[in-house]
A = this chain, B = another copy of it.
Amino acid sequence: MTVTIEDVAQRAGVSTATVSRVIAGKPYVRDALRIRVLDAIQELNYRPSRVARSLRVQRSSIIGLIISDIQNPFFTSVVRAVEDVAQQRGFSVMLCNSDESTDKEAAYIDLLLDEQVSGLIVSPTSTNTDIYRRLVEANVPVVAIDRRVENTPMDMVVGDNVQAAYEVVSHLIANGYRRIAAVLGVPDASTGAERYEGYERALNAHGIEVDPELVRQGMPRSESGHRSTLQLLQLQNPPDAIFTGNNLLTIGALRAIDEMGLRVPEDVAFAAFDEMEWMFLVKPALTVVAQPTYAMGKKAAELLLQRIADPSRPPQEVLLQPTIKVHESSRAK
């Protein structure tokens, strides 16, 4: 039923080897034959089997992309970038959603290896895991995105979370806020840990002690942001400002503030990590740390393709600088 390379060879009156050479654009084929083969391909509407090819060369032209939350616009933008780059370079993307589960992540890695993917881009659910060490040792091209992997030298594309959190919290302090709460993701993922570190450093640098009561860490999802913020706002001594650790936490936090009927920044100031398209709707405008999401995805894909092309190149860590956009939600007290 399906037309194979054999059919093409027969039609063109050559061997399959020649057809293969023509398709691969290899030298050592007479123009006359090349044309006959191309014609035959056209006439038969031949499309090579990627599966057969993958089996033979022991590598598919698929790259695996494992992200921790497909419903998070941050990752969506990353996916889009990776897909764009991949497609342009003749690769396709197999997308997996680890859903913040380390087990799922590991299972997907195995699955993708079983599919003989050329490489992997992953936003690791946890910083400390030996999965990546094993991958790197087995010479599997892999790059981490958004979140760092520790103790394993590998390609990474991350934002400068410590610095960005430091700056934005310092800004809150400069504007007169002292009881600054942090609604963060769990520190298993490096983003959670680093954004906390930036927060802590900023407080310390300005002589403010960290009040553990004001630090909430949970799943980087809106429900968790909602719950944490409600708790914070109901404290005896509630915060005068809230710093949220990612876009979904921000949504939850804003909902909590909304439900409590509080005003920003009069009752509580606000500064958030991650920018989103609809944020212009929030009044007053939110002070945010904007990450170059598409650029991160693009860079990760490029790093991966480079490593696939040259597996021995030294691992590279790309640190992208977020932009801090100051608006009214954090204006001076």
A176 interfacial contact with B, CB 8 Å: no
A276 to B276, CA, bound (A): 13
Q: In chain A between 221 and 255, which residues have their CB closer than 8 angstroms to a CB of chain B? A: 222, 251, 254-255
A205 interfacial contact with B, CB 8 Å: no
What's the nearest-Cβ distance from chain B to residue A260, in Å? 13
A79 to B83, CA, bound (A): 15
Q: How large is the interface on A (under 10, 10 to 19, 20 to 34, 35 or more residues)?
A: 35 or more
Given contacts A80-B97, A97-B80, contact A114 B281 (CB under 8 A): no
Q: In chain A between 61 and 101, which residues have their CB closer than 8 angstroms to a CB of chain B? A: 62, 70-71, 73, 76-77, 79-80, 83, 92-97
A110 interfacial contact with B, CB 8 Å: yes
Q: In chain A between 106 and 120, which residues have their CB closer than 8 angstroms to a CB of chain B? A: 110-111, 113-116
Q: Which of B70, B77, B113 contacts A79 (CB 8 A)?
A: B70
Is A278 within 8 A of B280, CB to CB? no
A144 to B240, CA, bound (A): 50
A277 interfacial contact with B, CB 8 Å: yes
Is A251 within 8 A of B222, CB to CB? no
Residue of B nearest to A69 (CB): B80
**A272-307: contact bitstring with B at CB < 8 Å (1 yes, 0 no)?**
000011101111000000000000000000000000
Q: Which of B70, B111, B258, B280 contacts A80 (CB 8 A)?
A: B70
Of A20-28, A31-39, A48-56, A180-188, the one with at least 4 CB within 8 A of chain B: A48-56
Main secondary structure of the interface of A (DSSP, over half): helix
A60 interfacial contact with B, CB 8 Å: yes
A309 to B222, CA, bound (A): 38
Is B115 within 8 A of A51, CB to CB? yes
The residues of B that contact A70 with a CB separation of less than 8 Å are 76, 79-80, 83
Is A55 within 8 A of B49, CB to CB? yes
Residue of B nearest to A64 (CB): B92
Given contacts A83-B97, A93-B95, contact A115 B50 (CB under 8 A): yes
A206 interfacial contact with B, CB 8 Å: no
The residues of B that contact A254 with a CB separation of less than 8 Å are 278, 281
What's the nearest-Cβ distance from chain B to residue A333, in Å? 24
Residue of B nearest to A76 (CB): B71
The residues of B that contact A276 with a CB separation of less than 8 Å are 278
Given contacts A62-B94, A251-B277, contact A48 B114 (CB under 8 A): yes
Is A51 within 8 A of B60, CB to CB? yes
The residues of B that contact A47 with a CB separation of less than 8 Å are 110, 113-114
A258 to B277, CA, bound (A): 14
Can you list 28 pairs linking A and B with CB atoms under 8 Å apart?
Answer: A48-B114, A49-B116, A50-B116, A51-B51, A51-B54, A51-B55, A51-B115, A51-B116, A55-B55, A62-B94, A70-B79, A70-B80, A70-B83, A71-B76, A79-B97, A83-B95, A83-B97, A92-B94, A92-B111, A94-B94, A94-B95, A95-B95, A251-B277, A251-B278, A278-B281, A281-B281, A281-B282, A283-B283
Q: Which A residues form the contact surface with B (CB < 8 A)?
A: 47-52, 54-55, 60, 62, 70-71, 73, 76-77, 79-80, 83, 92-97, 110-111, 113-116, 222, 251, 254-255, 258, 276-278, 280-283
